[in-house]
Each structure stands twice: as structure tokens, then as C-alpha cells.
Amino acid sequence: LLAAPVDAAARALLGTLLVVDGDGPGRRRRVGRIVEVEAYSGQDDAASHARFGRTARNGVMFGPPGLAYVYLVYGMHECLNVVCDADGRAAAVLVRAVEPIEGAAEMRTARLAVAGRRARSAETLARAERRIAALPDARLASGPGLVTAAFGIDRTLTGADLLDPAAGLRLEHGDPPAEVMTTPRVGIDYASEPSRSRTWRFLDLASPSISIRPASPRR
DNA sequence: GCAAAGATTTGCT
DNA sequence: GCAAATCTTTGCC
């Protein structure tokens, strides 16, 4: 399924469950439904990390489907990708938003921990804590950087097999959305045409957890 | 070696 | 609505 061309694989990932096992009192089980993704391809895609060919960072994108590719953007946010397409072909699907199903309290705790690490002053920390405490469960993982914050995912997981039923972070089967909307990808204005306009963002408009971005529909 | 820019989020004007 | 925060990656000299 994930071995398909990356746009088809991205569609197929919508509705799939993202699962983090609990391994103690400090890290409890979390489950969410993937409701927004973007497809990225190889050298034919001017928006992809693989557009310059194979490098130290993107190497895993050339590997077999189902591996995790986690990278740091803007020096502060980690983003989770699922490697797709056949082994040897660079492709990955960015997980942009997840709808919490189980363990929302744990996700909120994880969000607070990230905010605590980042805050530069007591005032901004208090403000951030109030903001996160007031978030509806559905908004805890409604952005690529928020998915990793809520699920406790970082770059050390790059290369992990998300299809392994025994993995601490894994994908599990979930029901696909009734209707899928497509738009151009977000935040890739640096890319040339036709890559920039390619409609490789896929979302479940019925979900309350999709990200709110300039290129996304309003709710 | 160096400089530039980034698959984002948050807070303030 | 705009710009800062923050650090890694990558192209190029």
C-alpha cells in the first residue's frame, strides 16, 4: 500500500492510526487518526528534501516504505514523515495533522513540556500554559510540529519501522475518510512550477483537527 | 569553511 | 496581520 506512488500512498494514509505505546507512568499510550498529509517525491519534485539527490539527511527517503523520517524545521519544530514508494525511490508523506482518539491528556502534557522547554520568561510560559490548557482535545495535534510535540516524536526515530506491530511508534489500520479534499502544499513557495501548484495536500475536511493555514479551507 | 534559508508556531503591533 | 525564534542542512566559494 505504501509502496505505491507517493500521492496515492498519501491518500491511503488518511484515516490510518498513529500509535505510541506507553512504557511507564511518565509515558502513556496515545492514539490518533491521521487527518491531513502531504506527499513529497524525489528529484522531479522541487519542493522535496530529495530535490538535490541523496544527502546525509534525506537518505532514509530512499529506503523501503514504512520507515519514519523525522527532520527539524526552522531550528525548532520536528516533522514526522512516512517513507513511501518502492525501495530505492525517494518519497515521503508528511503527517500534518492528527485527530486524538486516546490519550489526549498525555498529549496535552507533552505539549506543555515542549512549551516549558522553549519559554524564555516566566510570563510567556504562564501565557503558553494557559493557552494549551484551554485547547480542545481536537486541536492538540493540528499541525506538523504539533503532531510530534503531542506524541513525543523526535529525530532519533528516523529509520524506525512504523509498520512493525511491536514498535513503540507505529501505524495501525483505521477507516479511511468518507471524503478527501486536495489543495496545493503549504509553505513551499520556494519551489518552482509545476511542483508548487501540484495538489499533493490531502485532508479529511470532516475532521475538527486539520491545520489552519493560509492555503487551507476555513472551518 | 561560510552564508542563506527553511515541509512552523507563537506572540505582539 | 507580521515578524521573531533558533539551528541544521546544503550549496557554493
Residue nearest to nucleotide C6 (CA to C1'): A75
Residue A61 confidence (pLDDT): 98
Residue A216 confidence (pLDDT): 47
A120 CA to C13 C1' in angstroms comes to: 37
Residue A219 confidence (pLDDT): 43
* Chunked mean pLDDT (size 10), chain A, 219 residues: 97 98 86 98 95 97 98 98 98 98 98 95 95 98 98 98 98 98 97 97 98 58
A151-156: Cβ within 8 A, 24+ apart: A151/A18, A151/A20, A151/A30, A151/A32, A151/A80, A151/A98, A151/A107, A151/A110, A152/A20, A152/A27, A152/A30, A152/A110, A153/A20, A153/A68, A153/A70, A153/A78, A153/A80, A154/A70, A154/A78, A155/A70, A155/A71, A155/A72, A155/A78, A156/A70
A80 CA to B12 C1' in angstroms comes to: 29
Residue A213 confidence (pLDDT): 66
Residue nearest to nucleotide B6 (CA to C1'): A74
pTM score: 0.96
CB less than 7 Å from strand B: which protein residues?
A: A 38, 40, 47-50, 58, 61, 72-77, 79, 81, 92, 94, 111, 115, 123-124, 127-128, 131, 143-146, 185-190, 211, 213
